[in-house]
Amino acid sequence: MAPTLSRFQGSIVVLICGLSFSFGPLTFRAVDEADAWQYLFWRCSATAVLSIIIICLAGHNPFRSVIEAGRNQIIAGLCTAAMFTLFIVSLSRATAAFVLLMQCTSPFYAALFSRILLKEPVERKTLIAMTLSILGVGVMVGGNLGSGDAIGTTLAIILPMFLGGYTVLVRSSPIRDPGVPVIIGGITGAIVAAAVSLPGPGLNVPLNDVMMAFIGGGVLIGLFAPLWNYAHRFVPAADVSLLLISEVIAAPIWLWIWMNETPTSSTLIGGGICLAAVTWLTRQAARSTQNSSRFSKRIHGLYVGAAPIFKRPDLKKPNTETRDRQE
């Protein structure tokens, strides 16, 4: 049986996962010869293999876990494959700061999807934060289109859409095994990358590139993604968002230190606006949680990084006392 974590323990795990994820772009920049698709194949393969090993060590059958996974978990795995692909290909065409800061908009896509698919109302403070985020994205995209790659910019814009959809799927259904979406995403991503690479340059790359892909996929994703999926159950959503901002902040720093990759001023300004919107929404969510009493109406929310972005009141329970009197 999986151990129960305290809020502090869960926060530490989430923080470690966020900092670990921040080294992902650095491993891609450190390859010698592999292109984006070759790196993606080895990265996704390592992700799937290590996730399978971890599930086996936990005493579970990974193949049975995948077969018994619900529809939402399977679709979440396909979203994971899309995120893996879009992340690496966009990194090959745009700066890491631009790609990572663009991911800050994922909570707002999740709000949109939850409204469309689950008919959940969106709070006014979320709409305010979404407006600020759109402004920040406009600043980033405007500056990047003038000096960057239009394809990389477009893929970076699409990436948080899948991240938002992934979160909706994961949050709207219980996860029997937190490694299932990672396995499905890794296998699917590897198949897509192989289909692109085999007719062209093939999959033979230097050992250094394979090792970088193993670190970026096997260790940073295959090991820490299931841990994050598990630990965030014990941490308030507002805390999760602030802790995961460590990835967005740390990744460009690592690249600036080791690869001399400097983000553009428009990326920093627009990204700062997006981060401010997410942080403000997070603080609003934390304040609302602290002010709510134990006897107040309980709220079910989809918490994506920053805050509860939609809510659904509990269904009214039948009045058993009145019914007993009538009988």
Token pair for 220? 């940073």
**327 within a domain of the structure (yes/no):** no
Average pLDDT over residues 30-52: 94
C-alpha–C-alpha distance, residues 181 and 166, integer Å: 9
**50 within a domain of the structure (yes/no):** yes
Average pLDDT over residues 112-140: 79
C-alpha–C-alpha distance, residues 102 and 210, integer Å: 28
- Structural domain of residue 32, as residue ranges? 7-312
Q: What is the pLDDT of residue 198?
A: 95
**317 within a domain of the structure (yes/no):** no
**247 within a domain of the structure (yes/no):** yes
**Total domains present in the chain:** 1
Does residue 268 or residue 302 have the better pLDDT?
Answer: 268
Contact (CB, 8 A) for 132 and 279: no
C-alpha–C-alpha distance, residues 280 and 244, integer Å: 15
**134 within a domain of the structure (yes/no):** yes
pLDDT at 311 over 50: no
**What's the pLDDT tens digit per position in 255-289?**
888 888 887 788 788 888 888 887 787 677 667 65
**322 within a domain of the structure (yes/no):** no
Contact (CB, 8 A) for 47 and 186: yes
For 172-211, b/e burial (b = at least 16 CB within 10 A) is eeebebbbbbbbbbbbbbbebbbebbeeeeebebeeebbb
**What's the pLDDT tens digit per position in 132-174?**
888 888 887 776 665 557 888 899 989 989 988 887 787 666 6
C-alpha–C-alpha distance, residues 217 and 206, integer Å: 17
Token pair for 124? 């006014």
Token pair for 87? 């992340």
Split at pLDDT 50, 70, 90, the class of 2 is: low
**284 within a domain of the structure (yes/no):** yes
Question: Exposed, middle or buried, 58 (CB in 10 Å: 0-12/13-18/19+)?
Answer: middle
**319 within a domain of the structure (yes/no):** no
For 255-293, b/e burial (b = at least 16 CB within 10 A) is beeeeebebbebbbebbebbbebbbbbbebbbebbeeee
Beta bridge partners of 300: 312
Separation of CA 131 from chain center: 21
User: DSSP per residue over 220-255, as a string?
Assistant: IIIIHHHHHHHHGGGS-HHHHHHHHHHHHHHHHHHH
Split at pLDDT 50, 70, 90, the class of 297 is: very low
Contact (CB, 8 A) for 275 and 137: no
